[in-house]
Structure 1
Amino acid sequence: MSTTDTLGTLGTTTAQARSAELEKLIQKEPGRFRVLTGDRPTGRLHLGHYFGTLHNRVRLQDLGVETLVLVPDYQVLTDRDIAENLKEYVEELVLDYLAIGIDPERSTIFAHSAVPALNQLLLPFLSLVSVAELNRNPTVKDEIAHSRQAAVSGLMLTYPVHQAADILFCKANVVPVGQDQLPHLEITRTVARRFNDRYGNGGSVFPQPEALLSAAPLLLGTDGTKMSKSRGNAISLSADADETARLIRGAKTDAERHITYDPANRPEVSSLVLLTALCEDGDPRQVAEEIGAGGAAALKRRVTEAVNGHFAPIRARRAAYAQDRRLVRDVLRTGNERAGALADATLKEVRAAMHCDY
């Protein structure tokens, strides 16, 4: 992405073109790349997460890309007064990761709070970004608008810089994101560039990470709005077959009987059709044609069978892992140690560059 791009249409278009080039390079030489990704531990992951990001992480891991998966427990506090049920949510998140195929032997799963050197990078990084730049960030503006807090905390305002520390501590050069996250990544690139210019002595301490844009399908929740943990309209990865069937039976459709795939005009029906196609590895238009005059009842039977069939092995693995919670703690401990070693090395390099290595 050009450093002179705005974060409007031009920046997004440029990012899309570069992302396509990046995908080709990853396919050719996966060992050149290091990915940082993760999810806030605010509840169980759902089908939208799976088809949006999770399965892509497994794909990159299996290609041979070095993958670090962050559990950003500190960032739960960006839009909440307290981090409720945090330990439970962290463990549930790790169980979901293991169940979908994140291999702790090949990928590093770690927690924010367990890597002090990572968080210490936030201080020098904040000196590289102005308050005006933080206030202009459109993603932060949107998050503030939907915040659960009575007042906006400093952590919310500095959220993009904390994300920069997440990405740069391990010198990740690829970050899988949606288009709405491009402004955050641009701040990371700005921090890296300014640090190199100010302290790099003609060299480069940090890479400027690039966006790997996902073509994530938009799956609606059972109420017809965006699938979300906080809205209570999601089907979690850990849901059993009966719960899945119940939730799908209650999913919103429309009054037209004949099933078609028309996301613009029939979003609720089309989302269910798309979910079926994703689970069956098929084409949504073909799925809709096959159901046709069967109506919403036939559609819901089909999507229930597809979801339960696709996720049965994942749920079985999750149930098996859940029998040994020590495994979850061992995975996190090992990942925390790996991430800590990377963060310590980077912080040492930063201190030397800033002449703070006394």
Structure 2
Amino acid sequence: MQKAKFQINGMHCNSCAILIEDRLKNHEGIINVKVNYESQKAVVIYDEQKIQESEIIQTIKEAGNYQVEKIGEKKEEPQSNNYLSYNKDEKEKLQSSSEFLTPLKILTGFVVISLSLNIASLVMLGKLLPQEVNQANANINAAIGQNLPSQDNPSAAQPSQIENQPTIQAFEITKSNHIRGDFDAPITLVEFSDFECPFCERHYQTLNKILNDYNGKVRLVYKHFPLGFHPNAQKAAEASECADEQGKFWEYHDKLFENLTASGYSLANFKKWAGDLGLNEREFNDCLDSGKFAQKVQADFQEGSEKEVNGTPATFVNGELISGALPYELFKQAIDGLLNQ
């Protein structure tokens, strides 16, 4: 078994990391893999008898035309006088911290032992109920936490950790929006998407399953978020709006995703697909060539940016953001939780 680290340049969002992980996990010999979008790095544990390092690198590259470089393991430097001198401040901080901690730990230990003995005595005498024992133990834990200093500031108590609540975004949904499903459904999925994004294509299939499985309970609202590094995304979004002008937004939406990898995007194909769907080709072509809906597409993009969208797909489930083309089961869990409230 071997462990290797890789630098991956070119990931644009969390979905890129998820896709790379999926591609690698499908290979025989991959034991575990973790890809981090923020650091642009991957750690892979693999069986060298079944897969070679070069195959791993090639798989990552093919997942999205990424630049991949193996990161060498850093060797531990032997301690020397130079090393001690360089870390002098840190060493002094640790020493002073230890000097402070020693008497405080002893004092805290006496307090805890004393409290524990008192609790044990009361339990034996039958004067504490089980729930009161739990509360007493909680008080002991609190006492320990309040008296132990933080590592960064030995003289300060460690602050309590309060989990941040998710931000719930508000959307004004009207019948002028692109809506698929029952308008009055209790669950609203607002998706910011890019027609040229391969992860959005995958997510398109997940959303179709959700709408099918939760018929009447979920509605999908589509909004544009064309990414700048996708050269045809803006025009594809405009083309879908031109189709909407003739009452066929969702038909054209599906056509785009179904042909992303099969045919590729171009102005000629955008116009051809309009004809395939029975649209008035002259009106459609004039609309697309004039950039009639360019501002509308950018208005969606601006709204997404204001709501902290930084990649596609980005799906808000009743206002709470779920980023990336994540598995169906994750969305199912979120939807079921809301329906059961």
| Global fold match (TM > 0.5) | no
**TM-score, normalised by the number of residues in structure 1:** 0.20
Structure with a larger share of its residues in strand: 2
Question: Which fold has the larger relative contact order, with Cα–Cα distance below 8 Å and residues 6 or more apart in sequence?
Answer: 1
* Rg comparison, structure with higher value: 2
Structure with a larger share of its residues in helix: 1
